[in-house]
Chains A and B, each alone.
Chain A
Amino acid sequence: MVSRKKFDLGPMLKPKSVAVIGASHDSEKVGHIILQNYINGGYSGRLYAVNKDASSKILGIDVYTSIMKIKDRIDLAVIAIPAQMVPEALEECGKAKVKTAVVVSGGFSEVGETELQNEIVRIADRYGIAMLGPNCLGVMDPRSRVDTLFLPTYKLSKAQIGGVSFVAQSGAVGSTVLDLISGEGFGLSKFFSYGNAAQVDEVDILEYLMNDDETKVIVMYIEGIKRGKEFIEIAKKITKIKPVIVLKAGKTAAGASAAHSHTASLAGSYEAHDAVFRQFGFVIANDISELIYYSKIFAYESEPSGGRVAIITNGGGTGVLTADAVSSTKHLTLAEFSGATKKILTASMPKLVNIRNPLDLAGDADSKRYGDAIAAVAGDQNTDIIAVIVLFQTPGADSEVAAELIKIKQTANKPMIVISIGSEYTQMHKIMMESGGVPVFDSPLSAATALEGLLDYGNYKKAVA
């Protein structure tokens, strides 16, 4: 495959000027919703509306009949008009020297209109426009308040500002994850839904995110990779710098029919993608929920020095379940406390606490007991990771425990996560702890899965360093 020009996606995510082509008075129309979202979102750049037939203002914004009539240089054109009209609009964007375009309109290769899609790629290439889509939700950046998503804001909660960037080929998976992220303490850096990937594709997006200082963690949902060799090249580089979590669809797709070798019957397209992800240090998620768990662990924690986990709990049963979850992973083990740690714990814990891992602090454990136990284990040379279980249903656990964990976390020199399982009262404390920098998981298995991902990525980075 011929290597091709690189696109600068900067103006798409941080535009000083945005034009919505297809802005409409009709509140049901996509163009109206997008414009409305820009206004609601508080976008502070220069905003323009373009509509061939409109004259008066839309939502208080001046309307132009063509982008060429705008006397400003446009960084981002959002195109939301019927597919057949896109080539002409894009041509005008080119003449107006628009830098980037997001084509949200559908009706291209996904419905067999491949020639129409090729035509808009030719136009974009001719004028050097970086074009995302077509058939996509586009981009979101809570810092620059760019939001091309045509989903009404009341249906989709907005994520906080943070360090996780999410790249999804599918708009449906993309908006689901976006909605889920809003309930998590870690926030969003960039969102890309790139649809048909006619021109700008996952390789361009990864290249941009690799160099984006606001992005700490990259999360991808992929259906298929277009440029395999280029993908491998960027994959090699990017995972040395920041973690990439990937969910690949199509596990069940039928393999090559009538394979003539055993290898071909085993190594289908899904398996080849999986091999590339593993080889170059991606963290592979098996489900949407795993995307969230991995996002969380990588957003909050650095790679551990090893896989020995200490479990501190205020519930015996949940401690055992967590020990089981840890042991069921391939690379995590239960820490064996050192003699010195045992001594400290024996001196500081009440008699009813058995000094062993999992360390059961009992149901009346308060912030003092948690604090003492965690401090001892944090100094333990045989422990790499601390998993603290706080069941808020117990008599001793309250906001003081949560506050204590936030305090300890600030000086902890090893990954420390919390497992809290429960409803409203627990959720309230989850939000509190996550705002304070402590990642909270809702089950032993999700915590163990996330921790193993963190460990494996750390080991990969060491191996390729």
Chain B
Amino acid sequence: MFMQMEYFKAKKILDKYGIRSIDSAYVDSFEEAVGFSAGKPIVLKVISDKELHKSKAGLVKTGLAGRESISKAYTELKKKAEHIKPYKIIAQKMAENGIEIILGGRDDPQFGKLVLIGLGGIYVEAFRDFAIRVCPISRYDAREMIAQLRSGGVISYKGKSEKMLEDMLLKVSSLLVDNQDIKELDLNPAIIRETSYDVVDIRVLV
């Protein structure tokens, strides 16, 4: 079975390829979380090998502003995570609103590295709207992948974020090709806006 790569090690790899992920830090106490927030709203989430569906399992708390709500959320998460030890709690800046997509990769036994884009977050399994190609992909492939999605026009804001999405796909493809040890990759969700984006969750299996 594959091992999950430590979050910040994975984040560093994304940084290297110019794939932007949201500011994050491990927190060992609610005080640390308050410090990280520095007066701005944050997200707290539990990271564990034993849970794939974090938000479904109630392991993500968003829009936390102020000492009181951070403290309450932190305590609740600790309680919920009791049965999926070992775990860590991560604090993240709140990403601005946008559309949630998934970018991913997998090492296929027949064809090698595959790259994926689709409607993300809670819609991944509900709509199963995704496109896959074999790495390395060309810009033409990236464009075709977006065109293949039923939600292509929505996630590309009718084409306005198209180039950005293509660039993201090309970067993920390079990352997968260069890092042969990566067996599976989920950037889910990445929050897409017209001219900017943030990857807010990273899962890398090696």
Which of A's residues lie within 8 Å of B, judged by CB?
A: 225, 228-229, 231-232, 259-267, 269, 271-276, 278-279, 463-464
Contact = CB atoms under 8 A, between A and B. Distances in A.
Contact of A278 (B102, B109, B144): B144
A228 B108 contact: yes
A263 B118 CA distance: 9
Given A232-B134, A463-B140, A266 B124 contact: yes
B188 interface: yes
Contact of A267 (B4, B116, B188, B203): B116
Nearest to B120: A262
Contacts of A261: 52, 104, 106, 184-186, 203, 205
16 contacts: A229-B111, A259-B52, A260-B2, A261-B205, A262-B188, A263-B102, A263-B105, A263-B188, A267-B104, A267-B106, A267-B132, A269-B110, A272-B108, A272-B114, A272-B132, A273-B110
Given A266-B128, A463-B140, A260 B116 contact: no
Given A229-B112, A267-B116, A279 B133 contact: yes
A264 B184 contact: yes
Of A261, A265, A266, chain B has the most CB atoms within 10 Å of the CB of A261
A273 B134 CA distance: 10
Contacts of B102: 262-263
Of A231, A261, A263, A271, chain B has the most CB atoms within 10 Å of the CB of A263
Contact of B52 (A262, A269, A278): A262
The 7 lowest CB-CB distance pairs between A and B, nearest first, are A263-B104, A228-B110, A275-B132, A261-B184, A228-B111, A261-B186, A272-B108
Contacts of A262: 52, 102, 104, 124-125, 186, 188
A55 B2 CA distance: 63
B167 interface: no
A390 to B, nearest CB: 35
B110 A263 contact: no
A238 B172 CA distance: 28
B134 A276 contact: yes
B67 to A, nearest CB: 34
A267 B4 CA distance: 19
Interface in B141-191: 141, 144, 148, 184-186, 188
Interface residues of B, number: 35
A256 to B, nearest CB: 9
B107 to A, nearest CB: 9
Contacts of A279: 133-134, 137, 141, 144
A296 B1 CA distance: 47
Given A263-B188, A275-B134, 13 more contacts: A225-B110, A260-B52, A260-B184, A261-B104, A262-B186, A263-B105, A263-B106, A263-B116, A266-B130, A267-B106, A272-B110, A276-B111, A279-B133
B73 to A, nearest CB: 24
Of A231, A232, A264, chain B has the most CB atoms within 10 Å of the CB of A264
Contacts of B110: 225, 228, 269, 272-273
A258 to B, nearest CB: 9
Interface of B: 1-2, 4, 52, 102, 104-106, 108-112, 114, 116, 118, 124-125, 128, 130-134, 137, 140-141, 144, 148, 184-186, 188, 203, 205
A228 B128 CA distance: 25
Nearest to A331: B147
A338 to B, nearest CB: 28
Nearest to B133: A279
Contact of B116 (A231, A266, A273, A464): A266
A273 B125 CA distance: 20
A153 to B, nearest CB: 38
A105 B125 CA distance: 44
Nearest to A271: B132
A260 B205 contact: yes
Contacts of B203: 261
Contacts of B118: 266
Contacts of A271: 132
Given A263-B184, A266-B118, A274 B111 contact: no
A231 B134 CA distance: 12
B185 A267 contact: no
Of B110, B131, B134, chain A has the most CB atoms within 10 Å of the CB of B110
Contact of B148 (A225, A265, A269, A278): A278
Contacts of B144: 278-279
Contacts of B134: 232, 272, 275-276, 279
B114 A267 contact: yes
A271 B133 CA distance: 9
Contacts of B148: 278
A154 to B, nearest CB: 41
A229 B3 CA distance: 26
Nearest to A279: B133
A325 B61 CA distance: 47
A29 B42 CA distance: 77
B159 to A, nearest CB: 16
Contacts of B108: 228, 267, 269, 272
Contact of B185 (A263, A266, A273): A263
B110 to A, nearest CB: 3
A260 B102 CA distance: 15
A261 B106 CA distance: 9
Contacts of B2: 260
A263 B111 CA distance: 15
Contacts of B114: 267, 272, 275
Nearest to B184: A261
